[in-house]
Amino acid sequence: MRRVVARYDDPDDATEAAKDLRSEGYDPERPDIGNPFFDPSARPPEARGLLWGGLVGGVLGAILLLAMATDMLWFPRLSPILTAGRLTLVAFGFAVGVAVGGFVGGVWGLRKDVPEAEGPRVAVSVSDAEVGAVEDRLRTHDPTAVDDAAT
């Protein structure tokens, strides 16, 4: 079983979506989710932290190893990796920076509060085979987000 949740800006759209689902034999509900981490239509805050942390970390890592390759910086323990070419060092610095920055950004994002759900939502529990049809039917009423999660 999967739970499909659609978030709308307009309450009338949510009402029409619920009527449409009822006419097809589904039992929609207006979910009252106390914890936004269990709302599949909510965007988790760590996603933004992962994205920005990975980008900033990747750029800083590439710059750091490029500076080491051009002899602008020198770290005694890291000097053996400088036997690689400049392009390899920049790629390696970017990869390590993305990993470290993404981790730090994700942890930073988890420490932030989850934003409150905005707008009315419609949820329905369906089998795995019916998820696509229900999502398509909900999308006909202009939702801002439609997501599903296993129940």
Q: What is the pTM of this model?
A: 0.51
- Which residues face 126 on adjacent strands? 2
The pair of three-digit structure tokens given for residue 87, joined into one six-digit string: 């392009």
Write the DSSP string, 16-36: HHHHHHHHTT---B----SSG
Domain map of the chain by residue range? Answer: 2-43+117-150, 45-110
Tell me if 92 sits within 8 A of 84, measured CB to CB: yes
For residue range 45-68, list pLDDT tens digits in order. 667 778 888 889 999 988 988 888
For residue range 8-53, list pLDDT tens digits in order. 888 888 889 888 889 888 888 776 555 555 565 566 666 777 888 8
d(CA 87, CA 26) in angstroms, rounded, equals 56
Cβ neighbours, 10 Å, residue 121: 24
d(CA 33, CA 37) in angstroms, rounded, equals 9
d(CA 68, CA 84) in angstroms, rounded, equals 11
CA distances from 24 to 19, 20, 42 (A): 9, 7, 26
Q: Which residues of the chain form beta strands (DSSP E)?
A: 2-7, 121-126, 145-150
Provide mean pLDDT across the span 69-82: 73
Lowest mean pLDDT of 55-59, 90-94, 141-145, 146-150, name the range: 146-150
Residue 40 has what pLDDT? 59
Classify domain 2-43+117-150 by CATH number: 3.30.70.120
Q: Does residue 104 surpass a pLDDT of 60?
A: yes
Decide: helix, strand or coil at residue 41. coil
Cβ neighbours, 10 Å, residue 17: 25
